Amino acid sequence: MADKERQKQGLRTKKELPDELGRFGQFGGRFVPETLMSALEALEEAYREAQRDDDFQRRLATLLRDYAGRPTPLYYAAKLTEHCGGAKIFLKREDLAHTGAHKINNTLGQGLLAERMGKRRIVAETGAGQHGVATATVCAMLGLECIVYMGEEDIRRQSLNVFRMKLLGAEVRPVASGSQTLKDAINEAIRDWVTNVDSTHYLLGSVVGPHPYPMMVRDFQSVIGREARQQLLEATGRLPDYAIACVGGGSNAMGLFHPFVDSEVKLVGVEAAGVGLDTGKHAASLVAGSIGVLHGTKSYVLQDRAGQIRETHSISAGLDYPGVGPEHSYYKESGRASYVAVNDEEALEGFRLLCEKEGIIPALEPAHAIYYTTRLASQLSKEHIILVNLSGRGDKDLDIVAQTLGVHL
């Protein structure tokens, strides 16, 4: 299929997807226990009502501005551009949003929605802790009870964020089952939701899970791409050649990509290759996985020959997930976006470069995207523009980076 034709398809599908069954082509859907079906139907209805409600939209816009600090800046990374010697690199500074990552865009939206539905108890999962912190933050502000499930392995490597959540009044429940990471935290959050479905909203943090989550989280995160599009037009008079973001579950990438789907902009998602794709110790569901059903949605997953979900590895807890949002799977299949993988060592190289060249300490998740961007930029001429989503700041990762470099703090 010609690129043009694919992009036309992208244009056609943007407004229509997901369909009424929550599907993006063959992906998505609602693969959940019957107990949750009515709650998902009610959530979808409440969300669609809120979308049409001017008061809701105004309140969300005000909080995004006054509380989260939006719009976040678009920054021309002159020194990094110079270092690469090619395409101009622009960073969308989601690291400057309140709580230090893009996660707040979604937690504000869903927090307001939970309040609107009369659900005063919030459960959430977290990997790196960024979504947990953003959820605890919004719950504190709205006066909602907050319980965050977090794998014991992640609690060990993200102790600072655990402390932040507790300061914000959330209860952090350790998850000891399975690989003790994000996927197990999601299992446990879903079990809690099944048990307390009448009183509780599950504030899912990525574009994964059963319909309507992939659509709803995408919509709340699309503010990233809408702002960046306008900011880049103002700064350069044109759209970028590439939009690049890291992909774990894929919310920051979808938030950046979606407003560009109807354009000619090339979209590239960067997954975690961990120790290396050939070692099996990675988290690259789109690059190295196959189609399956995990956490209520049909998408690419990492699984073994018997259909068991595989344990994953990435230096970055936020990318350490064996599934990915169904809309990304759809983009991969339709060719609208391409997906690549960057390993732990390369991500650290991207991390170091941004520190040294720009004075910005990125989170390890977007460090994957930064690394890929520097490689791509150096192969392109100076007329090209790359827009990359700097989805979070790196304070939370200093321990693990120090450890990897053999530095004792």
Angle, alpha carbons 287-355-103 (nearest 5°): 55
Asked if residue 26 binds another protein (CB under 8 A), the reply is no
Look-up of token digits 């999962």: 125
b/e code 57-78 from CB counts within 10 Å (16+ = b): eebbeebbeeebebbbebbbbe
Asked if residue 208 binds another protein (CB under 8 A), the reply is no
Q: Which of residues 39-58 bind another protein (CB under 8 A)?
A: 39, 41
Contact with another protein (CB under 8 A) among 9, 14, 31, 120? 31
382 is an active site residue: no
| Largest interatomic CA distance in the chain | 57
Q: Which of residues 68-127 bind another protein (CB under 8 A)?
A: none
Q: Which of 44, 94, 115, 125 is catalytic?
A: 125
Closest CA to 27 of 254, 243, 182: 254
Distance, CA of 154 to CA of 129 (rounded, Å): 8
Contact with another protein (CB under 8 A) among 10, 24, 30, 139? 30
183 is an active site residue: no
Asked if residue 201 binds another protein (CB under 8 A), the reply is no
Q: Which amino acid is at 181?
A: T
Alpha-carbon distance values, 124 to 87, 146, 216, 403 (Å): 39, 8, 15, 28
Asked if residue 197 binds another protein (CB under 8 A), the reply is yes
Contact with another protein (CB under 8 A) among 160, 288, 293, 361? 293
Q: Which of 88, 103, 357, 396 is catalytic?
A: 103
Distance, CA of 372 to CA of 385 (rounded, Å): 14
Contact with another protein (CB under 8 A) among 18, 129, 292, 392? 292
**Cβ of residue 198: shortest distance to another protein, in angstroms?**
7
125 is an active site residue: yes
Q: Which of residues 5-24 bind another protein (CB under 8 A)?
A: 21
Asked if residue 198 binds another protein (CB under 8 A), the reply is yes
**Cβ of residue 261: shortest distance to another protein, in angstroms?**
26
Helices 130-142 & 103-116 angle (0-180, nearest 10): 40
N-to-C CA span, the chain = 53
251 and 320 in contact (C-beta within 8 Å)? Answer: no
Asked if residue 34 binds another protein (CB under 8 A), the reply is yes
Q: Which residues are catalytic?
A: 103, 125, 391
Residues that bind another protein (CB under 8 A): 21, 29-39, 41, 177-178, 183-184, 187, 190-191, 194-198, 290-296, 301, 303, 305-309
